[in-house]
Amino acid sequence: MSLLVLGTVALDDIKTPSGMKRNMLGGSATHFSMSARLFAKVHLVAVIGKDFPRKELQFLRRKGIDLTSVVQAPGETFRWQGEYKKEDFNTALTLGTKLGVLEGYLPEVSAEQRGIPNVFLANIDPDVQMRLLDLIGKPRLIGLDSMNLWIRIKREPLMKLMKRVDLFVANDGEARALTGEQNLIKAAKKLRRFGPGLIVIKKGEHGVLFYSDKFAFSFPAYPVEAVVDPTGAGDTFAGGLMGYLTKAQKLDLASLKRAVLYATATASFNVENFGMAATAPLTLPAVNKRMRELVEFISC
Amino acid sequence: MSLLVLGTVALDDIKTPSGMKRNMLGGSATHFSMSARLFAKVHLVAVIGKDFPRKELQFLRRKGIDLTSVVQAPGETFRWQGEYKKEDFNTALTLGTKLGVLEGYLPEVSAEQRGIPNVFLANIDPDVQMRLLDLIGKPRLIGLDSMNLWIRIKREPLMKLMKRVDLFVANDGEARALTGEQNLIKAAKKLRRFGPGLIVIKKGEHGVLFYSDKFAFSFPAYPVEAVVDPTGAGDTFAGGLMGYLTKAQKLDLASLKRAVLYATATASFNVENFGMAATAPLTLPAVNKRMRELVEFISC
């Protein structure tokens, strides 16, 4: 089964207590693809600059990701410089952002891709996300992620988007900012009223809360002792979630629980090394092994 | 089966976004007893002042709590004034503390109580906790709780206590302060090396982490939408935990998981109303009902 993802492809400079790495392949859609590819055929919709390293394109292709709708535009690839402090690994400090080719980017997809039944709008400007929705048909399942910046400066387009998607993924800070509710159960209920039937609130090292009209559930995170770089953990999580739901082709309680567990498992790998160093070599058997450990760790 | 608990009995003035209540029955040992009584015969070891309301003593007696070792000393009952802000229900702000009869308190137990096989040292001065351990025989299971104040000003006696107990209960902030580790898995492992074989780290609304040499597991909290007053939630949790372990008389994985779930369930009631308003009328069938909901909410 196929899964279309729109989002950013970036080159990241990241500093964490474990060290500093420059020019790493990053971006919301890239991290998403790196875990979603384990479960489904991923079609990436993104823009890169003229400076984008050829070897990274080859790398993505080797990972089985369809790059038909990755456009190379004049200008520089989107760059993000971030830091994580030892005291709070859950919060990324943005040291610098260079939009580059992201500015003015209008996504395009091939005629064939328009019919892909599963779509994820990874974190990028809500106007760009909306543009993609206008391009495509009526997918079976549309997922949406965003970030605090857009909640602050593009609330209205974001609220319009919420009405058109089935699944919304947010971290706890975003859920609180978007709803004004401190209590995450209340926040989840309010997000539900904004439109999406399926609400997933990620709480970083504290796990995840799922809410829908029919059922709610919660899982703790996989216990990672040595967090090296959390960049992209949320995107990796979303990739595991949407990837598994694409494969399962069902939205019943058992499939949703399994999808959230796969999301948790893939995200736990992501934080164990810089950039995609831990998720790039990942195989489904390795993820399944961790799934079994995770289930044992959290089963009651 | 019997369970001996040493700790504070207090009169609390508490302010939360839901309102302000004065002269409420509180204290670590009282909150502990109110949930432990559902599973075991609780013997309370504590001091109260001459001002302690007779009706509260009658109330505790009616709840089946043995008050043989509650001494009434000249002076005032320990008083705590605290506040919780809407933005952070996990953190109690202490507005005032009057030690009263707690100052100079030396616990005593009856000859019969010395043989009680399950003992919990609820939050009180570590020197007082040590004194109780010196009074009693060789219990089957000794549990210990503490607080940031003692970690800061009485670290040495606390570390000595740790070597003599089997189970240590801490919230995430305390675990971090005591070990210097931000990562809670690392903190749990370090706490294990301090002495206790069973480590329970409570993360408030984020649930709980259990660690021992043989196994580790984690559960999310029961989803409480309307938190009214979290005072005593940790003590109520510890009461459910020790109460169930006292009843089960086993420390295998299944019993420990069940004990942590009962602890989670009883604590979820505690936060839903001021003081002991929600835990005082609680019955085991009501707790069991919530247990089933909780298991459904977190089962994978």
pLDDT digits (tens, 9 = 90+) for B142-152: 999 999 999 99
Q: Which residues of A touch B182 (CB under 8 A)?
A: 86-87, 89
Q: For residue B74, is pLDDT > 90? A: yes
Most B CBs within 10 Å: which of A206, A290, A299, as the mutation test of the B interface? Answer: A206
Q: What is the pLDDT of residue B249?
A: 96
Q: What is the mean pLDDT of chain B?
A: 96
Model confidence pLDDT, tens digit, residues B184-229: 999 999 999 999 999 999 998 899 999 999 999 999 999 999 899 9
Model confidence pLDDT, tens digit, residues B217-266: 999 999 999 899 999 999 999 999 999 999 999 999 999 999 999 999 99
Q: What is the pLDDT of residue A300?
A: 86
Model confidence pLDDT, tens digit, residues B85-138: 988 887 889 999 999 999 999 999 999 999 999 999 999 999 999 999 999 988
Q: Is B216 on the interface with A (CB under 8 A)?
A: yes
Model confidence pLDDT, tens digit, residues A220-238: 999 999 899 999 999 999 9
Q: For residue B69, is pLDDT > 80? A: yes
Residue whose entry in the numeric block shows the structure tokens 């009995």? B9
Q: One-letter amino acid identity for A169?
A: V
Q: What is the pLDDT of residue B87?
A: 80
How would residue B29 be classed by pLDDT, with cut points 50, 70 and 90? very high
Chain A with chain B: Cβ pairs closer than 8 A: 79
Q: Chain B: residue nearest A258 by CA? A: B300
How would residue A137 be classed by pLDDT, with cut points 50, 70 and 90? confident
Considering CB atoms only, which of B217, B221, B296 is closest to A298?
A: B217
Backbone angles phi, psi at A49, to 5 degrees: -95, 180
Q: Which residues of B touch A214 (CB under 8 A)?
A: none
Q: What is the pLDDT of residue B282?
A: 98
Q: Which residues of A touch B185 (CB under 8 A)?
A: 223-225
Closest CA of chain B from A103, distance in Å:
36
Q: What is the ipTM of this complex?
A: 0.84
How would residue A86 be classed by pLDDT, with cut points 50, 70 and 90? confident
Half-sphere exposure of B240 (CA within 13 A, CB side): 27
pTM of the complete model = 0.91
Q: Is A272 on the interface with B (CB under 8 A)?
A: no
The stretch B161-170 carries a mean pLDDT of 98
Q: What is the pLDDT of residue B261?
A: 97
Q: For residue B64, is pLDDT > 80? A: yes
Considering CB atoms only, which of B87, B209, B216 is closest to A182?
A: B87
Q: What is the pLDDT of residue A87?
A: 80
Considering CB atoms only, which of A218, A223, A257 is closest to B220?
A: A218
Closest CA of chain B from A206, distance in Å:
6
CATH numbers and ranges of domains, chain A: 2-298 (3.40.1190.20)
3-state secondary structure of A232: coil
Q: For residue A44, is pLDDT > 80? A: yes
Task: Determine, for residues A206 and B203 on separate chains, whether the beta-carbon distance falls below 8 Å.
Answer: yes
Q: Is A72 on the interface with B (CB under 8 A)?
A: no
Q: What is the pLDDT of residue A91?
A: 82
Q: What is the pLDDT of residue A89?
A: 81
- Concatenate the DSSP letters of all residues of chain B into one string: -EEEEE---EEEEEEETTEEEEEEEE-HHHHHHHHHTTTSEEEEEEEEETTS-HHHHHHHHHTT-EEEEEEEESSPPPEEEEEEETTEEEEEEEEEEE-GGGTT------TTGGG-SEEEE-SS-HHHHHHHHHHS---SEEEEE--HHHHHH-HHHHHHHHTT-SEEEEEHHHHHHHH--SSHHHHHHHHHHHS-SEEEEE-GGG-EEEE-SS-EEEEPPP--S-----TTHHHHHHHHHHHHHHHH---SHHHHHHHHHHHHHHHHHHTTSSTTTTTTT--HHHHHHHHHHHHHHH--
Task: Determine, for residues A298 and B206 on separate chains, whether the beta-carbon distance falls below 8 Å.
Answer: no
User: What is the edge-to-edge ordering of all strands in the sheet holding A19-26?
Assistant: A19-26, A10-16, A78-85, A88-98
Q: One-letter amino acid identity for A132?
A: L
Q: What is the pLDDT of residue B161?
A: 98
Q: Chain A: residue nearest B294 by CA? A: A217
Task: Determine, for residues A220 and B219 on separate chains, whether the beta-carbon distance falls below 8 Å.
Answer: yes
